[in-house]
């Protein structure tokens, strides 16, 4: 079995694979104050919940956009699985050709999402990740990573509205029945869900204009993606576990079938 772990700003998502089968996905709240020992306890509890035996792991791999937590989660993973996890970053083979100004510092989540998209979907492709931030990565016909757009995530926008206004409440993220709201929650939901969907449609239009050709595939992932992209006018595929799939692919690129580090 292989443990894949994606450390995001809001959640730590982990998936356990046996060969190509994803056995389960679990999520922990990202807590920058937790230690490696605390995360190790939580990992052991999750494995017990899903009847997974830690000694059956052959390895693990981690992507992280929260540097202050990387060491703690790496320690926890090694303690529980008995293997030093691979870390997405310089020196690890991904097979991804990155054509940005600073390719060495491209976010690990963007890297593994792109790797999974290239492996799975027809190119050129746009990869949307709707989490704490809303990101759209651009991949050309050869799978070259050309760049991306980044904007404030849906949750951040809603928190700002509720926190920095006197009369607007905290609301759930779901589409209302009408674009024209007649009460505060519906108005906020319309602006947030339909507004974000319209932004995504518009950005896709502008990206294609700049590329000079249409893309073949648009795929979305992230905790807030399903609700938002279902309200887009564009055809957007939804892949709940795209980043975990990318992590598994990178793990396989850097290991042999026996699970030992590849020497090639």
Q: What is the mean pLDDT of residues 38-65?
A: 96
Lowest mean pLDDT across 45-49, 88-92, 245-249: 88-92
Query: What pLDDT score was predicted for residue 172?
Result: 77
Lowest mean pLDDT across 140-154, 165-179, 197-211, 237-251: 165-179
> Same domain for 202 and 234?
yes
Say if 141 falls within a structural domain.
yes
Residue written as tokens 């791999």?
A: 61
In this prediction, what percent of the chain has a pLDDT beyond 70?
A: 97
CATH code at 48?
3.30.420.40
Asked if residue 207 lies in contact with residue 136, where contact means CB atoms within 8 angstroms, the answer is yes
Query: Cα–Cα distance between 178 and 92 in angstroms, integer?
Result: 48
> Same domain for 209 and 185?
yes
The two three-digit tokens of residue 122, written as one number? 């027809």
Query: Cα–Cα distance between 117 and 146 in angstroms, integer?
Result: 14
> Same domain for 81 and 134?
no
The DSSP secondary structure of 68-81, one letter per residue, reads: HHHHHHHHHHHHHH
Query: Cα–Cα distance between 101 and 242 in angstroms, integer?
Result: 25
Calculate ∠ Cα 13-138-85, nearest 5°.
30
Query: What pLDDT score was predicted for residue 256?
Result: 66
Query: What pLDDT score was predicted for residue 184?
Result: 87
Say if 164 falls within a structural domain.
yes
The residue from 56, 87, 118 where one domain ends is 87
pLDDT band at residue 231, thresholds of 50, 70 and 90?
Answer: very high
Say if 145 falls within a structural domain.
yes
Query: Cα–Cα distance between 153 and 194 in angstroms, integer?
Result: 14
User: Which one-letter DSSP state was computed for residue 183?
Assistant: S
User: Which one-letter DSSP state was computed for residue 139?
Assistant: E
Q: Which domain holds residue 147?
A: 103-245
Residue written as tokens 């989540």?
A: 109
Q: What is the mean pLDDT of residues 231-259?
A: 90
Query: What pLDDT score was predicted for residue 115?
Result: 98
Say if 253 falls within a structural domain.
no
> Same domain for 126 and 162?
yes
> Same domain for 159 and 228?
yes
**pLDDT of 240 above 50:** yes
Total structural domains in the chain? 2
> Same domain for 49 and 146?
no
Which residue did the predictor score with more confidence, 213 or 174?
A: 213
Q: Is 109 assigned a catalytic role? A: yes
> Same domain for 172 and 77?
no
Asked if residue 217 lies in contact with residue 207, where contact means CB atoms within 8 angstroms, the answer is no
**pLDDT tens readout for residues 194-218:** 999 999 999 999 999 999 999 999 9
**pLDDT of 257 above 60:** no
Average pLDDT of the chain, as a whole number: 92
Say if 262 falls within a structural domain.
no
> Same domain for 54 and 175?
no
Asked if residue 211 lies in contact with residue 218, where contact means CB atoms within 8 angstroms, the answer is no
Q: What is the mean pLDDT of residues 137-163?
A: 91
Query: Cα–Cα distance between 236 and 257 in angstroms, integer?
Result: 34
> Same domain for 216 and 179?
yes
Q: Which of 109, 140, 201, 205 is catalytic?
A: 109
Q: Is the whole-model pTM more than 0.95?
A: no
Query: Cα–Cα distance between 242 and 115 in angstroms, integer?
Result: 9
Coil, strand or helix: which one is 162? helix
Say if 252 falls within a structural domain.
no
Q: What is the mean pLDDT of residues 135-152?
A: 97
């Amino acid at each position: 079995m292989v443990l894949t772990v994606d450390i995001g700003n809001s959640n730590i998502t982990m998936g356990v694979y046996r060969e190509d089968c994803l056995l389960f996905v679990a999520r922990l709240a990202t807590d920058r104050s937790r230690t490696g020992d605390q995360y190790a306890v939580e990992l052991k509890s999750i494995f017990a919940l899903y009847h997974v035996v830690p000694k059956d792991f052959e390895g693990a791999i981690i992507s992280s956009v929260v540097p202050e937590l990387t060491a703690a989660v790496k320690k926890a993973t090694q303690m529980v699985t008995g293997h030093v996890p691979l870390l997405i970053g310089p020196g690890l083979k991904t097979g991804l050709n990155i054509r940005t100004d600073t390719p060495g510092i491209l976010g690990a989540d963007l890297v593994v999402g792109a790797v999974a998209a290239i492996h799975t979907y027809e190119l050129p492709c746009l990869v949307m990740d709707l989490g704490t931030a809303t990101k759209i990565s651009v991949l050309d016909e050869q799978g070259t990573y050309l760049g991306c757009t980044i904007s404030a995530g849906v949750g951040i926008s809603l928190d700002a509205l509720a926190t920095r206004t006197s009369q607007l409440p905290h609301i759930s993220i779901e589409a209302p029945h009408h674009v024209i709201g007649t009460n505060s929650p519906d108005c906020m939901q319309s602006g947030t869900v339909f507004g974000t969907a319209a932004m995504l449609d518009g950005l896709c239009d502008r990206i294609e204009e700049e590329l000079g050709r249409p893309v073949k595939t648009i795929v979305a992932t992230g905790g807030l993606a399903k609700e938002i992209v279902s309200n887009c006018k564009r055809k957007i595929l939804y892949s709940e576990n795209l980043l975990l799939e990318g992590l598994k692919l990178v793990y396989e690129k850097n290991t042999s079938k026996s699970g030992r580090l590849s020497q090639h």
